């Protein structure tokens, strides 16, 4: 199983780089960041520094979107990093949540995401693609490679990930929901004539190693609020009891009042009081290292190829080190 570290690009950028270096020393192979231009510093600038100061780590956004940058700019940026550092990038992509809503724009349609997946991948790998009606190709790219992984929750998004993407990003670590969603992605891939086993499955969620479960929950409760944003969109689209989405995903947002993006993805977010303890426990990995290993073995058995650790809490270094010492060797030893 591969492991990734997910960070926000809060200043100073040097801290982000140092945490990624620490993660690589501890056996993490992927370095991910949020991508929201108003809330945090520009990740692609920081990726260059991370790549320069690591040896093997693959970097990318979790996740970018088709609306913040034009597609040829996104492709050229990835391709430039790949040319400089040897194809060590991955493009996580989704409809866009904080990046667009904070700027007063709506998330992209799924149709737009599907077109962007094809165009960004083709352009970054040196092939011709169509962008808003214009055919183009980036002529200087040689031997470029860019896997595109899509984040999804709802039925139509899961189907699109199976039809188009090289990987699927699921931002929660509940085994029941993971099994349901991985099955949906792989079924869509098979129906589209693709090899379902060729799609990389990445589960991303907060991990907090320690014996003080109450403290760990409070440090990670923000995650239920962040996921709740996406769930609220699904409920508005499909309804509470449509059967299109498992009720074990939707029921907990009944008391949700709203969301302030100034606290997005941060411990102590005041907009997450509605998130109950059982959701934090289901969606995250908490407790001693042995509990993490047990849950990760379950997820691996469901087809998960990578676990990406959200480290937005007060024990970033300790969690990275605990994973390197106790968790990653137990899974891969």
Q: Residue 229: pLDDT above 80?
A: no
Whether the CB-CB separation of 320 and 311 falls below 8 Å is answered with yes
Task: Give the ranges where the chain is alpha helix by DSSP (H).
Answer: 13-25, 43-52, 71-85, 98-101, 110-124, 155-164, 175-191, 213-220, 222-238, 247-250, 277-283, 289-301, 316-322, 328-332
Whether the CB-CB separation of 97 and 233 falls below 8 Å is answered with no
Task: Write a three-state SS string for 182-248.
Answer: HHHHHHHHHHCCCCHHHCEEEEEEEEEECCCHHHHHHHHCHHHHHHHHHHHHHHHHHCCCCCCCCHH
> According to the model, what pLDDT value does residue 63 have?
96
Q: Residue 313: pLDDT above 80?
A: yes
> According to the model, what pLDDT value does residue 256 have?
74
Of the two residues 175 and 231, the one the predictor is more confident about is 175
What's the residue count for the chain? 333
Q: Residue 263: pLDDT above 70?
A: no
Whether the CB-CB separation of 155 and 132 falls below 8 Å is answered with no
Q: Residue 243: pLDDT above 90?
A: no
Q: What is the average pLDDT across 101-123?
A: 94
Of the two residues 274 and 310, the one the predictor is more confident about is 310
Q: Where is average pLDDT lowest: 107-116, 202-211, 252-261?
A: 252-261
Closest CA to 205 of 70, 38, 3: 3
> According to the model, what pLDDT value does residue 56 have?
98
> According to the model, what pLDDT value does residue 62 have?
97
> According to the model, what pLDDT value does residue 240 have?
62
Confidence label for 257 from pLDDT (cuts 50, 70 and 90)? low
pLDDT in tens, 64-109: 999 999 999 999 999 999 999 999 999 999 998 888 888 888 989 9
Q: Residue 28: pLDDT above 90?
A: yes
Q: Where is average pLDDT lowest: 163-172, 249-258, 316-325?
A: 249-258
Mean pLDDT of the chain: 93
Of the two residues 17 and 232, the one the predictor is more confident about is 17
Question: What percent of the chain is predicted at pLDDT more than 90?
Answer: 80
Whether the CB-CB separation of 271 and 145 falls below 8 Å is answered with no
> According to the model, what pLDDT value does residue 242 have?
63
The Cα–Cα gap between 124 and 122 comes to 6
Confidence label for 174 from pLDDT (cuts 50, 70 and 90)? very high
> According to the model, what pLDDT value does residue 101 have?
87
The Cα–Cα gap between 129 and 120 comes to 8
Q: Where is average pLDDT lowest: 246-255, 261-270, 293-302?
A: 261-270
Q: What is the average pLDDT across 319-332?
A: 98
pLDDT in tens, 44-54: 999 999 999 99
> According to the model, what pLDDT value does residue 40 have?
93
Total-model pTM: 0.93
Q: Where is average pLDDT lowest: 17-21, 243-247, 313-317?
A: 243-247
Q: Residue 305: pLDDT above 90?
A: yes
Antiparallel, parallel or unpaired: β 129-131 and 134-136? antiparallel
> According to the model, what pLDDT value does residue 216 have?
97
Q: What is the average pLDDT across 5-12?
A: 97
């Amino acid at each position: 199983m591969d492991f990734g570290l997910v960070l926000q690009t809060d200043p100073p950028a040097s801290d982000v780089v140092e945490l990624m270096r620490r993660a690589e020393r501890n056996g993490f192979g992927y370095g991910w960041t949020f991508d929201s231009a108003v809330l945090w510093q520009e990740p692609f600038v920081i990726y260059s520094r991370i790549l320069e100061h690591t040896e093997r780590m693959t970097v990318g956004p979790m996740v970018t979107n088709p609306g913040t940058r034009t597609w040829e700019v996104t492709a050229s940026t990835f391709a430039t990093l790949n040319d400089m550092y040897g194809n060590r990038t991955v493009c996580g992509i989704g409809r866009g949540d904080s990046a667009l809503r904070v700027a007063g724009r709506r998330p992209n349609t799924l149709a737009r995401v599907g077109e962007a997946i094809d165009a960004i991948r083709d352009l970054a790998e040196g092939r011709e693609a169509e962008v808003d009606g214009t055919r183009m190709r980036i002529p200087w790219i040689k031997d470029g490679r860019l896997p595109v992984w899509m984040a999804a929750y709802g039925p139509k998004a899961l189907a699109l990930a199976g039809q188009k993407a090289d990987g699927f990003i699921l931002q929660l670590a509940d085994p029941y929901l993971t099994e349901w969603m991985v099955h949906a992605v792989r079924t869509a891939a098979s129906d589209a004539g693709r090899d379902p086993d060729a799609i990389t499955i990445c589960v991303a969620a907060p991990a907090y190693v320690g014996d003080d479960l109450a403290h760990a929950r409070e440090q990670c409760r923000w995650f239920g609020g962040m996921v709740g944003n996406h769930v609220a969109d699904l409920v508005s689209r499909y309804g509470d009891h449509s059967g299109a989405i498992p009720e074990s995903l939707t029921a907990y947002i009944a008391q949700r009042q709203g969301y302030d993006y100034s606290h997005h993805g941060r411990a102590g977010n005041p907009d997450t009081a509605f998130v109950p303890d059982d959701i934090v426990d289901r969606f995250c990995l908490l407790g001693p290292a042995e509990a993490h290993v047990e849950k990760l073995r379950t997820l691996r058995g469901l087809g998960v190829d990578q676990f990406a650790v959200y480290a937005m809490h007060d024990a970033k270094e300790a969690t990275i080190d605990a994973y390197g010492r106790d968790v990653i060797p137990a899974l891969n030893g």
